[in-house]
Amino acid sequence: MNSVSSTCTQRFSSKQHRRSRKARKHPIKGLQQVLLIAVQVFLYWLLMIVAVNPTALAAPTSTTNGLPTQIQEIELRDRQGNLTTVQTLVPDWSSISFSDLPPIQQRGSIRIGDQQRTWQAGQALDQVLHLGDLSDLRVDRLTLDAISQRTNADINTILLSQFPLVGKQTLGDLAAIVPALKEFQIQAVTPIQAAVEKAIGTINGNETLAQLLSQHPNLATTTLNTVDQSRYPLNAIPNLGQVELGEFRSWIETQIASVPGLGDLSLTDFPTEIADIGNLFARIDAAYSPAEGSGGTKRTVSGSYQAGFSVGCKKDCAYIELDDLENSGRRVRGSFEGKQWVSGKYQEVEGGEGCLQWANGGKEPTGRHSFGPAFKVVVLEPSETADTVSTALYFRFKAKCGATPYFIGPVPFFTYKVGMPIFIGRPNWQGASRGYSESTGAKVEDAVPIKGFSDPGFGGDDGDEEESLTLCSGKVVQGVSLDVLAGAIQSIESRGSGGYSAVGTYGCDGAGLCGRGLGKYQFMNYNEYATTRITTRPGGQAFLDRVRKGDRPTANDLARFFPPEDQDTAFQGSLADKLKTTAKQIDLKTGKPFVGDRLIERVAQKHFAGDYSAVDGGGGDDLGTSTYGYGVKARSNYGQSSKAKCQEPSVGNKLVTAGSLNAKIANASASAYGMDTSAGPKGGREACAWSVNRVLGKAGIQPVGANPDYVPSVAADLKAGRGVRVSPSQAKAGDIILAKGYEHIGICQNDGCSQVLSNSSSRASFRWKSDRTFNGYYNNSAYIREAPTEEIYRVVK
C-alpha cells in the first residue's frame, strides 16, 4: 500500500485515537450498525481509488478569507521509492494586493518621534501602513508610470490632488527630481506656473523653470500645495510619472492609499516581491489548546528574527503538532515529526530593531516569516475540539533607524483543518534560539477577534456584538435618547447580516435610484449621509459608482471606504436630523405633531423607507418587512432597552464628560472674541494654534503641544493624552476642533460644534465664525490625507 493510503489507515492523531476508544465503549445496534457498515464499505472503496490514483481527490480546502489561491503539487517518495503527488492550496500572491488583504482586527496606537501612528479595528492596511514601512519590498524604486502600467490604470485621469505627496514638494525639489522639467518653458507646466505667479506675480511664461529659479532664488522653497491641485491632472507636470517614489520629499510618511494605484498593485509586482521563502511543507497532525499544552514544549519551529525560530515554551503553550507530509510510517524520523508551531495569541517573543525596538514592550507574537520580512505569519487559535487552526498576518512600522516588532494586526489569513499541509518555508529553526517565549495571558474566551469584518460572501461571522456605536453621544433630541434609538434600529438592521460589513440585496426604488444597503445601518449607497463620508476617501466615488451598477462590495471595500467610525457618525447625524424635522410634521393619525412613541416609529420608518415615504406604509423589502412594521419593531426595541449599546468616551477607565474644563474654555473663548492676534506667528496670519492656546491660558490650562504655535504639534499632544477624541454628535462648547489636514484649529461654541470660533488670518483677530467644516475652506487641502476629516477633542488635563 502506498504512502497516501498508509496515512489514512495506519496512523491516528492522539485525539482520533481517544475518540476510537470511547466509541468502542458504546456499541451501535440495529439499523445504526447497518448504516455504519455501509459507510465503512464506502470509505474502503474510496481509499482504494486514492491508492490507485493519489490525485483522484482534490486537495483539502482551507478557509482563505477571500484571498486568491492556487494549487501547488508536491512530489514525494515513499519508503519503497514510489513517487506520489500531494496537492495543497497556497496564496496566489500575483493576484493579491494590499487592498485585497482583510482589514486589521485590533486597534492600537504608538508615538514615533513627533508622529502618532493610530489604527482602528476594521481599518484597511493601505490606510495604516506608510511607504517607509514597505522598504523590505523596495517600494521607493516604484514610479507612478510603473504602477499604472501594472494595474492597467489610466494615469491621465488622475488629478494632482489625488497624489498629495507631490504637493509637499518645493519647486526646487521638482526641478531636481523630475527629468528635464527645469528645461520646460513655465507656460507648458500650468500648475507650476500658477505656483510661481502666486509667489512673485504675473510672468510672461517663456522662461524655463531653471531660469526662474536662477532669477528668483526664493522660488526654490515655494511648495506646490500653494495652488489648487484638483484643477490639474498628473500629466500637467511632464515626466512626473517617471520619478521614483523614494525621490520625493517626505515619501516615507506617505500612506499607501495616498499613492494612486499602489494599493491595487499585486504583491509580486513590487521591486522585491512577496514570494515563498523556501519550499518546505508539513502536515498538521494535531491541534492543542493552552490547557493541553500546559506542560510546555521545546521542539518548536516558531519564534522571531531576534530570538531565533526554535523558541521553547513553558506554559499556556497552545500549538499545532507537525508531521512529515508523506507520513509513511518509516522507521527513520522525518524532519517535522513531533515539531510544534506555537500560537502567537498565547505566546510572544523578542522583536524589533534599532531605535524602534522598544515599541510594544519589545515583543511580538511568536511565528514564522514564510513569505519574507514584509509580514509575519502567526498561528492564532489551534482548536482541539473543532480540529481547526486559524492563522493571521502581523505587520510592523519602520524608520531609517530601525523597526518596531511585528504587532500591527491580526490580519486574517488561512484557517486549516487538522491533516492539511501548511507551508513552513525553510529550515531556519535548526540554529540556536534564546530562552523561552512569554505568556500573553490570553484566554480561549478572549480569542483575537477574527470576526465582524468577514465578507458575508465567504461565509463570514454574523458580526461582533461589541462593535455597536463607537462612542455614546449622550444627546437627547426631541425627548428621544439618540443612543438608545440608534441601538434599537441597529439591532434590526445588523441582525445576522455581518455588522459593519453587512451588504444588502441589490434593487432600485421608485425614483430609479439603484444600489445596496451598506454597513451596520444599511445606508443605501446614494444616501447623502453615507456619500458625504465615502467620497472623502480616495477612490470613494468610483466605489459608489460600482455599487450603483450592481457590484457587491466586499468586507475589505467597506473597511476601506465606509469604516465603522464613519458609519456611526453618519447614522447619528441622520437620526438627529430626522428627529428634528419629524417633530415639526403633523401625524395624520393623531392630527398633532409627532411626539413620543409615534415620533420614534416615524423616524425609524424614514430610515427604512426614506424621508418621503408614506406614513405607516405597507410597502416592504425583500424580507417582507413593511414600513409600518419596521417602525413598530424599532419603537418596541427602544422601549425594551435599559441602556444604550455604545461606549462612553474615556481615558483609561475614567469617563470623560464635558465638565468644568469645557465650561472654562467655552467662557474664555467667548470673552476672547475679537482678540488681537498680530503678536502671533506671521503677524497673526498663522496664529490659529497660538490663539487657541491663548484662550486655554485664560482658562487656566497649560499650553497644548510641544510647539504650541503649530497645529500638528497640538494635535499630537491631544492624541497623546491631553485630550480624548469625541464625535461631532458628542461635541460640547469648549471642545477643540482641528481642520482637515491639520491646517487650522478652533474652539466649538455649542453642542454638536456647528458653530466654531477661530483666528481670522486676514484680520489678525480671533473672530472667524464658521461651521464645523470651517465653511469647507480646507476641503481641497494638499494635506487632506493626513487628516481626511475634521477631528474634535475634549481637553482632559
What HEC string does 497-547 produce? Answer: CCHHHCECCCEECCCCCEECEECCCCEECCCHHHHHHHCCCCCHHHHHHHH
Same domain, 633 and 656: no
pLDDT digits (tens, 9 = 90+) for 376-400: 999 998 887 778 888 999 999 998 8
* Grid cell at residue 211: 531660469
- Residue 450 belongs to a domain: no
- Residue 345 belongs to a domain: yes
pLDDT digits (tens, 9 = 90+) for 401-429: 889 999 998 998 988 888 888 988 888 87
Same domain, 522 and 630: yes
C-beta separation of 336 from 299 below 8 A: no
- Per cent of the chain over pLDDT 70 is 79
In this structure, of 7-21, 98-112, 485-499, the range with the lowest mean pLDDT score is 7-21
Handedness of CA 512, 515, 516, 518 (dihedral sign): negative
* Grid cell at residue 493: 438592521
Same domain, 310 and 204: no
**Domain total for the chain?**
5
Residues 6+ apart with CB under 8 A from 787: 715, 738, 739, 740, 741, 742
Please give the Cα distance from 628 to 613 (Å, whole number).
Answer: 11
C-beta separation of 411 from 394 below 8 A: yes
Classified as helix, coil or strand, 621 is coil
- Residue 697 belongs to a domain: yes
pLDDT digits (tens, 9 = 90+) for 216-274: 998 899 899 888 888 898 889 999 999 999 999 999 989 998 899 898 899 999 999 88
196-207 mean pLDDT: 88
Same domain, 627 and 659: no
Same domain, 655 and 791: yes
- Residue 314 belongs to a domain: yes
Same domain, 499 and 617: yes
Exposure string of 337-362, with b = 16+ CB inside 10 Å and e = fewer, is bebbbbbbbbbbbbbbbeebbebbeb
β-bridge partners, 304: 308
Q: Is 300 exposed, middle or buried (0-12, 13-18, 19+ CB in 10 A)?
A: buried
Q: What value does the mean pLDDT of the chain take?
A: 78
C-beta separation of 106 from 121 below 8 A: yes
Please give the Cα distance from 309 to 424 (Å, whole number).
Answer: 11
Q: Which residue has the cell 492676534?
A: 677
- Residue 771 belongs to a domain: yes
Please give the Cα distance from 126 to 105 (Å, whole number).
Answer: 14
- Which pLDDT does position 142 carry in this prediction? 94
* Grid cell at residue 763: 484680520
- Residue 167 belongs to a domain: yes
Distances (CA, A) of 768 to 133, 675, 749, 752: 40, 11, 12, 18
Same domain, 310 and 378: yes
Whether the predicted pLDDT of 24 surpasses 50: no
- Select from 640, 660, 689 the last residue of a domain: 640
**Amino acid in position 98:** F
Distances (CA, A) of 352 to 113, 230, 753: 16, 40, 42
- Residue 3 belongs to a domain: yes
Same domain, 44 and 11: yes
C-beta separation of 414 from 64 below 8 A: yes
C-beta separation of 205 from 236 below 8 A: no
Whether the predicted pLDDT of 755 surpasses 70: yes
- Select from 640, 664, 685 the last residue of a domain: 640
Distances (CA, A) of 451 to 72, 106, 212, 289, 305: 28, 11, 58, 20, 29
First vs last C-alpha separation in the chain: 75
Please give the Cα distance from 351 to 359 (Å, whole number).
Answer: 9
β-bridge partners, 115: 112
Same domain, 767 and 636: no
Residues 6+ apart with CB under 8 A from 118: 107, 108, 109, 110, 719
Higher per-residue confidence, 645 vs 489? 489
pLDDT digits (tens, 9 = 90+) for 683-700: 888 899 999 999 998 888
Please give the Cα distance from 106 to 255 (Å, whole number).
Answer: 19
Please give the Cα distance from 643 to 696 (Å, whole number).
Answer: 35
Among 313, 334, 317, 316, residue whose Cα is nearest residue 325: 334
- Select from 591, 607, 640 the last residue of a domain: 640
DSSP states along 700-713: T-PPPSSSTT-HHH
Classified as helix, coil or strand, 411 is strand
Residue 711: CATH number of its domain = 3.90.1720.10
Distances (CA, A) of 558 to 412, 503, 508, 530, 641: 16, 9, 21, 11, 29
Number of residues assigned to the chain: 797
- Which pLDDT does position 736 carry in this prediction? 95
- How many CB atoms are located within 10 Å of the residue 27 CB? 8
Please give the Cα distance from 460 to 173 (Å, whole number).
Answer: 48
- Residue 45 belongs to a domain: yes
Residues 6+ apart with CB under 8 A from 144: 155, 163, 234, 240, 241, 243, 259, 260, 261
Whether the predicted pLDDT of 523 surpasses 60: yes
Among 520, 509, 604, residue whose Cα is nearest residue 562: 520
Same domain, 663 and 741: yes
Same domain, 294 and 334: yes
772-785 mean pLDDT: 75
Among 780, 724, 646, 692, residue whose Cα is nearest residue 118: 724
Whether the predicted pLDDT of 432 surpasses 80: no
| Domain extent for 428 | 280-436
In this structure, of 162-171, 432-441, 713-722, 747-756, the range with the lowest mean pLDDT score is 432-441
Same domain, 698 and 753: yes
